């Protein structure tokens, strides 16, 4: 029994990328959620500067605990679908939309694929993407374009949201049927004006599909008032949830007119094999949850629920403010270094928890490698030859850690 427990424990901790030298072992009660000594709620080693939430967030002990408890429950009593109903209710109130407008996915890319295949598009229709897309938004649209002969139109991002919006406006035509842009591009982290982008699409009679990989958890989201048609997000980055968990939002008024390509249990109105009739009552048109078919992971649902609870208990607005203040602290210090080009928006309120920069006279890769060797977990951005270093700030990054990072950058510049 103990051996089995140890095995499960190691598998869970290993799966979440945790080190086994931490004081928390998952079977104890996690510490109560609160801002006091926030670093103690996580297993991040004290001498390790995890500045890469833009790739994956570190889950708090509270979330890991739920994950482990759910694995135990599932594998002792076979109890299944214990959390899904509650989770949809909680997600709807967290994202300020209706339960039927949401479907659980395994990641952002799945949500982007659902969007790319749901829309009624035909040969010659144009899809606008930015030159800063993550592969997880580019490929779903390029794939649909490959199969159905759509035309992809690329737009450069501007130095701020106004410029970006104007760049988009210059690329639209009577054939524009989709504007598919990131809420916050993975490269330079500007918070794009998605409300205005959605409005522009709407006036054109086109669809707005937002890749929200970095929205949930970094920003307090109000999906309904954002006005976009489809929004794909995840829990495994800024929400600090379990890895391999996401969601897609589809505006209620579109549900009945959009298609569903992958379907199964929970996608249909009714189905029966009686009298060998190969018929069924059709795809559910009343809910986006038709996209979340078949057996799902209870432990992931439990852990997502806990990650929402964790952020809500800390206060979603306070989490956003803290992330942004830390990003600002970093950005302001980097802007003082003339040897760097800081790629932040020129409009201060469009910057959040992702700060990107590149050295003007040094090789960014070499600098990235040197900083990584010193225990700063950051990301190099080679995409579209942007060639910069990306730093993400979350609630577990202390101000001291950010200042140490800046000192290390300064040393690299001499
Ligand atoms: C902007 C953006 N879109 C999509 C993705 C893909 O996310 P996922 O791995 O959850 O599919 C990422 C991942 O970093 C991203 O940054």
pLDDT digits (tens, 9 = 90+) for 94-143: 999 999 999 999 999 999 999 999 999 999 999 999 999 999 999 999 99
Q: Which of 136, 180, 386 to mutate to test the pocket of ligand 1 (most atoms within 8 A of CB)?
A: 136
Q: What element of type H or E holds 376?
A: strand 376-377
Question: Which numbered atom of ligand 1 lies nearest the CA of 182?
Answer: 1
Of 134, 84, 94, nearest in space to 216 by CA = 94
| CA–CA distance, 94 with 96 (Å, rounded to integer) | 6
Confidence tier at 231 by pLDDT (50, 70, 90) = very high
Question: Which numbered atom of ligand 1 lies nearest the CA of 185?
Answer: 1
pLDDT at 268: 85
Q: Which residues contact 303 (CB under 8 A, 6 or more apart)?
A: 59, 63, 64, 66, 67, 70, 241, 242, 245
- On whether the CB atoms of residues 185 and 193 are closer than 8 A, the answer is no
Q: What element of type H or E holds 210?
A: strand 207-211
pLDDT at 12: 38
Helices (H), ranges, 149-193: 161-171
Phi first, then psi, for residue 330 (nearest 5°) are -70, -50
- pLDDT, one tens digit per residue, over 317-356 is 999 999 999 999 999 999 999 999 999 999 999 999 999 9
In the reported structure, the alpha carbon of residue 95 is separated from the centroid of ligand 1 by a whole-number distance in angstroms of: 19
| CA–CA distance, 320 with 218 (Å, rounded to integer) | 5
Of 387, 310, 321, nearest in space to 353 by CA = 321
Domain 84-310 has CATH 3.40.640.10: yes
| CA–CA distance, 413 with 131 (Å, rounded to integer) | 29
- The beta-strand segments (E) located in 235-367 are 246-250, 271-272, 279-280, 340-342, 354-359
Annotate 240-293 with DSSP letters as a single string. Answer: ---SS-EEEEE-GGGTTTS--SS--TTTBS-EE-GGG--EE--B-SS-GGGGS-
pLDDT at 79: 87
- The beta-strand segments (E) located in 13-100 are 49-50
pLDDT at 277: 66
Look up residue 177 and give its two tokens: 């049927």
Annotate 361-372 with DSSP letters as a single string. Answer: SS-HHHHHHHHH
| CA–CA distance, 309 with 147 (Å, rounded to integer) | 42
Of 33, 10, 49, 26, nearest in space to 319 by CA = 33
**Which stretch of 8-12, 38-42, 62-66, 241-245 has the lowest confidence by average pLDDT?**
8-12
- On whether the CB atoms of residues 19 and 58 are closer than 8 A, the answer is no
Confidence tier at 172 by pLDDT (50, 70, 90) = very high
Average pLDDT, the chain: 92
pLDDT at 275: 63
Alpha carbon nearest to ligand 1 atom 14, residue: 55
pLDDT at 16: 38
| CA–CA distance, 191 with 34 (Å, rounded to integer) | 28
Q: Which of 213, 215, 241, 246 to mutate to test the pocket of ligand 1 (most atoms within 8 A of CB)?
A: 213
Of 224, 153, 221, 214, nearest in space to 183 by CA = 214
In the reported structure, the alpha carbon of residue 233 is separated from the centroid of ligand 1 by a whole-number distance in angstroms of: 8
Cα dihedral sign, 179-184-187-189: positive
Q: Would you mind telling me the total number of residues written for the chain in this entry?
A: 414
In the reported structure, the alpha carbon of residue 300 is separated from the centroid of ligand 1 by a whole-number distance in angstroms of: 18
- On whether the CB atoms of residues 292 and 150 are closer than 8 A, the answer is no
Q: Which residue has the higher pLDDT, 263 or 277?
A: 263
- pLDDT, one tens digit per residue, over 279-292 is 777 898 899 999 99
Look up residue 374 and give its two tokens: 């010193």
- On whether the CB atoms of residues 331 and 340 are closer than 8 A, the answer is no
pLDDT at 213: 98
Domains of the chain, residue spans:
84-310
Q: Which residue has the higher pLDDT, 23 or 182?
A: 182
In the reported structure, the alpha carbon of residue 234 is separated from the centroid of ligand 1 by a whole-number distance in angstroms of: 8
Confidence tier at 87 by pLDDT (50, 70, 90) = very high
pLDDT at 334: 98
Decide: residue 244, CB within 10 A, 0-12 exposed, 13-18 middle, 19+ buried.
Answer: middle
Using CB distances shorter than 6 Å, the residues near ligand 1 are: 55, 107-109, 134, 136-137, 182, 186, 211, 213, 234, 246
| CA–CA distance, 393 with 330 (Å, rounded to integer) | 9
Question: Which numbered atom of ligand 1 lies nearest the CA of 106?
Answer: 10
At 142, is the secondary structure helix, strand, or coil?
A: helix
């Amino acid at each position: 029994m103990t051996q089995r427990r140890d095995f499960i424990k190691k598998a869970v901790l290993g799966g979440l990328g945790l080190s086994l030298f931490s004081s928390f072992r998952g079977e104890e009660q996690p510490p109560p959620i609160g801002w006091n000594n926030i670093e103690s709620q996580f297993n991040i080693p004290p001498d390790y500067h995890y500045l890469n939430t833009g790739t994956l967030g570190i889950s708090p002990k509270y979330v890991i605990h739920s994950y482990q408890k759910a694995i135990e429950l599932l594998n002792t009593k076979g109890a299944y679908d214990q959390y899904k109903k509650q989770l949809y209710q909680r997600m709807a109130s967290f994202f300020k939309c209706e339960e039927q407008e949401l479907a659980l996915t395994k990641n952002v890319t799945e949500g982007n694929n659902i969007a790319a295949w749901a829309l009624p598009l035909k040969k010659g229709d144009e899809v606008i993407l930015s030159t800063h897309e993550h592969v997880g938004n580019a490929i779903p649209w390029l794939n649909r374009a490959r199969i159905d002969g759509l035309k992809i139109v690329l737009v450069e991002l501007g130095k701020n949201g106004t410029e970006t919006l104007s760049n988009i406006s210059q690329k639209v035509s009577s054939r524009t049927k989709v504007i598919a842009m990131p809420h916050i591009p993975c490269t330079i982290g500007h918070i794009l004006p998605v409300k205005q982008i959605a409005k522009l699409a709407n006036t054109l009679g086109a669809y707005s599909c937002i890749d929200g990989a970095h929205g949930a958890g970094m920003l307090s989201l109000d999906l309904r008032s954002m006005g976009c048609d489809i929004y794909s997000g995840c829990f495994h980055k800024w929400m600090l949830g379990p890895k391999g968990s996401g969601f897609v939002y589809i505006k209620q008024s579109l549900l009945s007119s959009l298609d569903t390509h992958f379907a199964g249990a929970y996608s249909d109105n009714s189905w029966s094999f009686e009298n060998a009739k190969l018929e069924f009552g059709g795809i559910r048109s009343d809910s986006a949850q038709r996209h979340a078919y078949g057996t799902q992971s209870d432990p992931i649902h439990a852990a997502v629920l806990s990650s929402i609870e964790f952020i809500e208990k800390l206060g979603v607005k306070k989490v956003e403010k803290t992330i942004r203040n830390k990003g600002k602290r970093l950005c302001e210090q980097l802007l003082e270094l003339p040897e760097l080009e800081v790629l932040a928006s020129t409009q201060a309120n469009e910057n959040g928890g992702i700060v990107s920069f590149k050295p003007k006279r040094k090789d960014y890769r070499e600098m990235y490698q040197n900083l990584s060797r010193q225990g700063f977990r950051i990301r190099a951005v080679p995409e579209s030859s942007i060639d910069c270093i990306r730093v993400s700030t979350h609630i577990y990054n202390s101000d001291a850690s950010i200042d140490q990072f800046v000192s290390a950058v300064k040393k690299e510049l001499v």
